[in-house]
Chains A and B, each alone.
Chain A
Amino acid sequence: MRQPMRQLADVAACRSGDKGNILDLSLMAPNATVYAVLQQHVTADAVRHHLAPWAAGPVTRYELPRLHALKFVVEAALDGGAARSGRADNLGKTLGAALLRLEIPWPPSSSPSSPSSPSEGPDTGPPPDDEGGSHA
């Protein structure tokens, strides 16, 4: 049976920023469960492949389990940077939304109830859910 897929836009949010020719993406989950799925499926390689028409790469990923967020630093992504780019979106402001077009397996193949590393210590970690149910 074919694995059902879901677009990241249905489950997460993303904001993009720029430093020179480098694209900086923050992919944010509404809770630890979704974060664990993102951590499993939205790898640096998946992002590099997805953004390949725009970005030469390489892509580096950073994990923020307490904030339920992943960061991606995508090099050579902005047509030379804001002051050189010919693109209508010379700052890459819409490329976070472009990442949200990526499709990942859903429901995830491994159980999200046993995520590999979200940190939710009752004393030091954040509350389990962000308010507002904003992404799902």
Chain B
Amino acid sequence: MTAVRVGGGLGFYGDSYRPALNLVEAGHVQYVAFDHLAELTLAILAKDRRRDPSLGYARDLLPLLRFLWPAAVQRGVRLISNAGGLNPMAAGAAAAQVAHDLGLSARIGVVHGDDFRGRLDLVEWDDSDPSAPPPVFANAYVGAAPILSALDQGADLVITGRVADSALFLGAIAHALHWDLSGAGPIDWNRLALGAVAGHLLECSGQVTGGNHSGHWQSIPDLDRIGYPIAELSDTGTLRITKVPGSGGRVTRDTVREQLLYEVHDPSRYLTPDVTVDLSETWLADAGPDMVDVCDVRGHVRPDAYKVLAGCPDGFLGQGLIGFSWPDALDKAEAAAAILARQVQAMSLSTTAPTAEYLGVSSFHGPLAAPVDRGRVNEVYLRMTLRTATRGAADAFARLFPPLALSGPPTASGLLGVDRVRELFWSRTGLIPRSVLDRGVRVDVRPAPAFYAGGSETRGGSTLL
């Protein structure tokens, strides 16, 4: 029997990568994959790229590599990351610099070609808004095949742009278990679905090992040293979820169920670029302490189009935060909100009114929150936001907060620093035919020094499929 163990090393740009070192050193894994990208992340990276065209990738890739790459090379653990974001070639070059600094001899593979900004006419948008402004990013969710190709070509580190989260893991699993993803021969969809589900379960790091647990969260031990997840698959079609022995957190049917269903929409048609996953008959079995088997995952033929996600500029958000103490804390915060609203109107900062949220009272559940006894509220923060057309108007709104300390209701305090201005993006989704994207996806695998010298120019490279 052939088997593979893959680790989930990161759940988002900004996640801790310390548990990933534990995966490399004590997890007995052959691969660790890192999911840096959420939908929101692309908007953040687009702002980076606009400031500096050599950016646009998740920069935590570099400290991450310095932290654990030597241990991975030593143990032959291969790393896969979508930290390339909007600029995978630049991320490859930066990673090569790290290899140079560390004196590592490694091959780097870069997967690129998911950027559709220049080919928007090929996208069939889900909305049909002709007035939508040009997107600052437009990327297709690529599948596992180019990752498999990079690993086949000997890459020790694979850096991608916007691939489907699950594909980061499926590419590694397919490589280890010698699965063919090309479609040249008949495809075992059930097998591919199991690999995609493994990836789905691992892509959010600690969220399957007891983090953000919606059940009895008090029973999850030692989150300070949480173990990140490991998927163990065999060529006989089994999938087991576990974590590094001795680490914190917990793997139970409850924690696995929660992540299994997370953000899948229709569980009988969970769409990935590689396979359509059907969880409608799936169940979970205890296999021992911190071990859960995932059973009866079904797969169906993959969609014949890839998903495209684009971000279109949609104005700005000005925001501020100011606290008030008992007595009359909530009354004071509401009075401050009224003052700000009148000032916004007088200054004509926006065509819309600002929105007030009361942190500690109702900022999360709004009208659904249970009413509070006003006289007993110890303290409350007012967070107020204003949508504006210009950055300047948003900034002017945020600057209305500090004067409230001397010229507003009493006991204003805790003027905490927040991002005064946020640039907003409207997300658009659409589809492009597989054949269109497949023609453009490229895989470059070279020894690190070749990337180090290469900059962001594409030289050589092999077209997939």
Contact = CB atoms under 8 A, between A and B. Distances in A.
**A and B associate:** yes
B306 to A, nearest CB: 16
Contacts, number: 151
B262 A126 contact: no
Given A130-B253, A132-B254, A91 B284 contact: no
A101 B366 CA distance: 12
B266 A135 contact: no
B424 interface: yes
Contacts of B153: none
A131 B425 contact: no
Interface string A52-73: 0110000010101011010101
A57 to B, nearest CB: 15
Interface in B286-315: 286, 296, 311, 314
A6 to B, nearest CB: 16
Nearest first, the 3 A-B pairs at minimum CB distance are: A17-B263, A134-B215, A134-B216
Interface in B381-427: 383, 385, 387, 424-427
B283 A13 contact: no
Interface stretch (B13-21, B172-180, B237-245, B355-363): B355-363
B267 interface: yes
Contact of B215 (A24, A28, A84): A28
Given A24-B262, A84-B427, 20 more contacts: A15-B261, A20-B39, A21-B427, A28-B214, A28-B261, A51-B368, A62-B267, A67-B261, A67-B283, A67-B284, A84-B426, A86-B317, A86-B385, A94-B365, A98-B365, A131-B254, A132-B254, A134-B215, A134-B254, A135-B216
Nearest to B370: A101
A97 B280 CA distance: 24
A26 interface: yes
A126 B285 contact: yes
Interface residues of B, number: 54
Interface residues of A, number: 50
Contacts of A125: 283
Contact of B40 (A14, A67, A82, A96): A82
Contacts of A19: 39, 263, 265
A66 B295 CA distance: 11
B252 interface: yes
Nearest to B256: A67
B365 A101 contact: yes
Contact of B429 (A20, A83, A84, A131): A20
B167 interface: no
B250 to A, nearest CB: 9
A9 to B, nearest CB: 10
B279 interface: yes
B253 to A, nearest CB: 5
A82 B368 CA distance: 21
Interface in A90-132: 90-91, 94, 96-98, 101, 124-127, 130-132
A45 interface: no
B33 interface: no
A18 B39 contact: yes
Given A28-B215, A54-B368, A131-B252, A66 B265 contact: no
Interface in A32-60: 50-51, 53-54, 60
B265 A24 contact: yes
Given A20-B427, A69-B261, A83-B43, A15 B214 contact: yes
Given A13-B214, A134-B254, A88 B359 contact: yes
B357 A87 contact: yes
Contacts of A94: 364-365
Contacts of B424: 80, 83-84
Given A19-B39, A26-B262, A126-B283, A132 B368 contact: no
A89 interface: yes
Contact of B258 (A22, A28, A84): A28
16 contacts: A15-B212, A15-B214, A24-B264, A28-B254, A53-B368, A54-B368, A64-B267, A66-B282, A80-B424, A81-B426, A82-B40, A84-B314, A84-B424, A88-B357, A98-B368, A124-B281
Contacts of B38: 82
B281 A66 contact: yes
B59 interface: no
A86 B264 CA distance: 25
Given A20-B39, A131-B254, A134-B215, A67 B260 contact: yes
Contacts of B314: 80, 84
